[in-house]
């Protein structure tokens, strides 16, 4: 069964608070991962709970996002949160604690470092996204690919050994994910897209991994050719019930066969994908079969793009405009 957004997928209009949460979906996911890790290492200590204040700060940060706080406030609180985390971790590791607890804290510290590498990158991109919501940005192709490799490494490290991610079939073990991620562009070593669409790609690849058991395969591709930007991701996961294919784009909806799974997300990945695709006058296709997998494909027209700005130029300029409220203040058409 195939659904296209301009024919059979309608969705419900989103409220402004829902739009804010959908926009910040990837950032919230990272915070949720950190909250989970902080909770686990905090529970290692029976009396003195050294990470309790950090947990409270992480929850306050999520509330700031949900309350549509200004980006500058969120950015400053994120910087302060990171400083507190390193100070607390260093203090705990200076204690005389059992080897098992020490190793758990050290492992969590490595995960936090991977997450914050990605988080800092997301904050830079969110800054661009809030200030230039409709602007197409030019990325260096090698840096673009490396961003996703960091994303895959952090995903694997956060699993704490439950699975590995490999990109070569010859290296694949029984519990390894095989992820093929290809990017091609007819603009040489550059590729263009709105920053928010890069977020969509990340979210949909993460969804494919999340709903595919270890040992499965995920194929993702991005192509910029003939004035069209195409993205497709295909997995060998659990699939979506046919009668729910049009519902999974609804805000917060999770397919019935996936509701038993513990995830760090809020069920907004496809909601965001459709919202952004429609905003950019593109087309989205979804195809799924239970126990066999799901394919999501998006096409965006490029010929109407009047201006493209290099990502490096925006970052060097500092993006100093005042920021408040959601960038994509639109619902579904």
Angle between helices 25-42 and 52-66 (to 10 degrees): 160
At 287, give phi and psi (nearest 5°).
Answer: -140, 135
Task: Let me know if domain 2-317 sits in CATH 3.30.565.10.
Answer: yes
DSSP string, 223-242: EEETTEEEEEEEE-S----G
Q: How far apart are CA 104 and CA 41, in angstroms?
A: 7
CB 126 within 8 A of CB 27: yes
pLDDT for position 330: 30
Round to whole Å and give the CA distance between 237 and 287.
Answer: 12
Ordered per-residue pLDDT tens for the chain, 333 residues:
445 443 445 556 777 777 777 777 778 888 888 999 999 999 999 878 999 999 999 999 988 887 767 778 888 999 999 999 999 999 999 999 999 999 999 999 998 998 898 888 888 887 887 777 778 999 999 999 999 999 999 899 888 889 999 999 999 999 999 999 999 999 999 999 999 999 999 999 999 999 999 999 999 999 999 999 999 999 999 999 999 998 899 888 888 988 777 665 566 889 999 999 999 999 999 999 999 999 999 999 998 776 787 777 766 665 544 333 333 323 322
Radius of gyration of the chain (CA): 20
CA angle 294, 299, 304 (to 5 degrees): 165
Go through 242-272 and write b for each residue having 16 or more CB atoms within 10 A of its CB, e for each that does not: eebbebbbbbebbbeebeeeeebbbbbbbbb
Residue 69 neighbours by CB under 8 Å, 6+ apart: none
- Residue-level pLDDT at 88: 96
Joined together, the tokens standing for residue 240 give 């979506």
In the prediction, which pLDDT does 25 show? Answer: 76
The alpha carbon dihedral of 197, 203, 206, 210 has a sign of negative
Q: What is the DSSP letter of 215?
A: T
Buried b (16+ CB within 10 A) or exposed e, 77-94: bbeebbeebeebbeebee
| First-residue to last-residue Cα distance in the chain | 22
Per domain, the residue ranges of the chain are 2-317
* DSSP conformational letter for 325: S
Concatenating the DSSP letter of every residue in 238-303 gives ----GGGTTTTTSTT---GGGTTS--SS-S-HHHHHHHHHHHTT-EEEEEEETTTEEEEEEEEE-T
How far is residue 97's CA from residue 287's CA, in Å, rounded to a whole number?
52
Q: What pLDDT, on a 0 to 100 scale, did the predictor assign at position 323?
A: 31
């Amino acid at each position: 069964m195939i659904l296209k957004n301009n024919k059979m997928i309608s969705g419900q209009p989103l409220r402004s608070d829902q739009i804010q949460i959908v926009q910040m979906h990837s950032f919230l996911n990272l915070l949720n991962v950190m909250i989970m890790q902080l909770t686990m290492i905090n529970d290692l200590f029976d009396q003195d709970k050294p990470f309790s204040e950090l947990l409270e700060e992480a929850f306050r940060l999520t509330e700031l996002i949900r309350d549509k706080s200004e980006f500058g406030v969120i950015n400053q609180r994120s910087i302060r949160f990171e400083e507190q985390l390193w100070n607390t971790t260093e203090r705990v590791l200076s204690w005389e604690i059992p080897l098992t607890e020490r190793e758990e804290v050290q492992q969590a510290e490595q995960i936090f470092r991977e997450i914050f590498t990605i988080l800092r990158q997301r904050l830079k991109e969110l800054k661009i996204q809030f200030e230039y919501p409709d602007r197409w940005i030019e990325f260096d192709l090698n840096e673009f690919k490396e961003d996703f490799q960091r994303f895959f490494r952090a995903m694997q490290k956060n699993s704490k050994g439950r699975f590995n991610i490999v990109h070569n079939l010859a290296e694949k073990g029984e519990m390894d994910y095989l992820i093929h991620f290809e990017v091609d562009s007819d603009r040489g070593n550059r590729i263009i897209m709105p920053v928010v669409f890069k977020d969509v790609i990340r979210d949909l690849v993460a969804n494919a991994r999340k709903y595919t058991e270890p040992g499965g395969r995920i194929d993702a591709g991005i192509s910029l050719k003939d004035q069209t930007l195409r993205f497709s991701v295909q997995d060998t996961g659990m699939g979506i019930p046919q009668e729910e294919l049009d519902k999974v784009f609804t805000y917060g909806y999770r397919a019935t066969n996936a509701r038993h799974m513990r995830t760090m997300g809020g069920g907004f990945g496809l909601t965001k994908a459709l919202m952004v695709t429609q905003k950019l006058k593109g087309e989205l296709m979804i195809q799924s079969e239970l126990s066999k997998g799901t394919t999501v494909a998006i096409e965006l027209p490029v010929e109407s793009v009047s201006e493209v700005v290099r990502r490096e130029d925006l970052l060097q300029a500092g993006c100093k405009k005042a920021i408040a409220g959601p960038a994509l203040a639109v619902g579904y058409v």
